[in-house]
């Protein structure tokens, strides 16, 4: 009888442990599950700033997940063409993409709002609006029908007007100009009488060199020097009215994202936030030294757009933004949200950032 009781007790003990393991099995199995994903980008492989932002994101995710989520990054054209990233991720050809939302205005006109609005939010304000001003929620609502979950994943800061081989002395000099400039800035150039062309970064040098385009806007000194635009264009214009704080985006296929356990979802979000800041830090550190090189070593002529040209571009910009806002109910809500946030941020920046810059110059 004692032996029988002992055997029964042992069986019950192991049974309880087995049940405990079963109760925890979901958690245990999830923590051991591994994922191998593909990321397609709109940038050349390992391109400074933009391309390396995607690589750094993948490296951070793998390190933080102890190798449970590995992401292989493909540059533009390696797996899909640059401007097919959106569809590739939406359809599940790749689980992730890295690019800029203004490339997808053919899907939704309001997508451009999540990269940059001419004369709109700068990098600091854009990131704040996305993460604390309701922007991210609107972004995800806009992309819901495409089976995508977007994250902010980089910012270049204020860009340049671009490269030209003739001086811009009046708005008349824009007319007939074939210029590579995407998003809302491209719409403004077109309405000003120019011809906006969307060409991927890797094709720009040849397009400018062969006369396919007359002018181009890419990013800023750091990236423009790397592409060698100073070899094919004479004048470098500022200010970057068309892209004052362009956000880069991480696209994640929603179905794939939902397969991740909660800790890996948190790692993706955290890595995106880290890269969002890291990319901006890199551009802030590199742009001026690249500009000095362009001017002093390569003889580039730095030019400021005439004030009357800037005023006209701003007038056209406001007109186009209102038209896009009127295109749909969600476009209106996005535009209103950005404009409200910009008004509030500008009011404080007048006595903080702007006042400090003025004091520093004295």
Q: Report pLDDT digits (tens) over 68-112.
A: 999 999 999 999 999 999 999 999 999 999 999 999 999 999 999
In the predicted model, is pLDDT for residue 16 greater than 90?
no
Confidence (pLDDT) at 66 = 97
Instruction: Identify the CA nearest to 111 among candidates 120, 100, 123, 102.
Output: 102
Strand bridging mode 215-216 / 162-164? antiparallel
Angle, CA 238 vertex, CA 130 and CA 248 arms, to 5°: 25
3-state secondary structure (DSSP) of residue 19: helix
Long-range contact set of residues 111-114: C-beta below 8 Å, sequence gap at least 24:
111/142, 112/183, 112/184, 112/324, 113/324, 113/331, 113/334, 113/335, 113/338, 114/139, 114/142, 114/150, 114/247, 114/249, 114/334
Q: Measure the CA–CA gap between 276 and 151, rounded to whole angstroms.
A: 9
Write down the pLDDT at residue 263.
97
Above 70 in pLDDT, residue 342?
yes
pLDDT over 90 (residue 247):
yes
Sorting pLDDT into bands at 50, 70 and 90, what band is 25? Answer: very low
Question: What's the rounded Cα separation, in Å, for the pair 211 and 203?
Answer: 12
What is the C-alpha separation between 206 and 211, in angstroms, rounded? Answer: 8
pLDDT at 117: 97
Which residue ranges form the domains of the chain, and what is each CATH number?
A: 35-155+245-284 (3.40.190.170)
Q: Is the pLDDT of residue 11 over 50?
A: no
Q: Is the pLDDT of residue 18 over 50?
A: no
- pLDDT tens profile 188-223: 999 999 999 999 999 999 999 999 999 999 999 999
Q: For residue 24, is pLDDT > 80?
A: no
Model-level pTM?
Answer: 0.89
Q: Report the phi/psi class of residue 44: left, alpha or beta, with left for phi > 0 and alpha for psi in -120 to 50.
A: beta
CA nearest 73: which of 48, 98, 49, 92? 98
Percentage of the chain surpassing pLDDT 70?
91
Confidence (pLDDT) at 351: 97
User: Once rounded to an integer, what is the mean pLDDT over residues 284-291?
Assistant: 98
Cα dihedral 161, 150, 277, 46 sign: negative
Q: Residue 13 above 70 pLDDT? A: no
How many other C-beta atoms can be found within 10 angstroms of the C-beta atom of residue 9?
10
């Amino acid at each position: 009888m004692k032996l029988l009781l002992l055997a029964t007790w042992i069986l019950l003990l192991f049974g309880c442990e087995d049940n405990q393991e079963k109760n925890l099995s979901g958690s245990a199995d999830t923590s051991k599950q591994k994922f191998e994903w593909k990321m397609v980008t709109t940038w050349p492989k390992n391109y400074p700033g933009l391309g390396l932002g995607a690589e750094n994101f993948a490296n951070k995710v793998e390190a933080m997940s102890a190798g449970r989520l590995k992401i292989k990054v493909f540059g533009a054209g390696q797996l899909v063409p640059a401007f097919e990233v959106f569809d590739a991720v939406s359809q599940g050809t790749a689980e992730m993409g890295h690019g800029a939302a203004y490339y997808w205005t053919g899907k939704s006109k309001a997508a451009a709002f999540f990269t940059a609005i001419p004369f709109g939010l700068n990098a600091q304000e854009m990131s704040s609006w996305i993460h604390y001003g309701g922007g991210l929620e609107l972004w995800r609502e806009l992309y819901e029908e495409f089976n995508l979950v977007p994250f902010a994943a980089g910012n270049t800061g204020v860009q340049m007007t671009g490269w030209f081989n003739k001086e811009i002395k009046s708005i008349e000099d824009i007319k007939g100009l074939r210029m590579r400039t995407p998003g809302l800035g491209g719409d403004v150039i077109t309405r000003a009488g120019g011809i906006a062309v969307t060409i991927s970064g890797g094709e720009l040098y040849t397009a400018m060199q062969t006369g396919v385009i007359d002018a181009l806007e890419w990013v800023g000194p750091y990236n423009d020097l790397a592409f060698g635009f100073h070899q094919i264009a004479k004048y470098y214009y500022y200010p970057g009215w068309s892209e004052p704080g362009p956000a880069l985006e991480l696209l994640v296929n929603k179905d794939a994202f939902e397969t991740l356990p909660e800790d890996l979802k948190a790692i993706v979000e955290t890595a995106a936030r880290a890269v969002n800041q890291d990319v901006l830090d890199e551009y802030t550190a590199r742009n001026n030294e690249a500009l000095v090189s362009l001017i002093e070593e390569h003889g580039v002529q730095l030019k400021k757009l005439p004030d009357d040209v800037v005023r006209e571009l701003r007038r056209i910009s406001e007109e186009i933004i209102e038209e896009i806002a009127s295109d749909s109910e969600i476009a209106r809500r996005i535009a209103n949200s950005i404009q409200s946030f910009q008004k509030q941020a500008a009011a404080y920046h007048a006595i903080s950032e702007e006042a400090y810059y003025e004091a520093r110059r004295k």
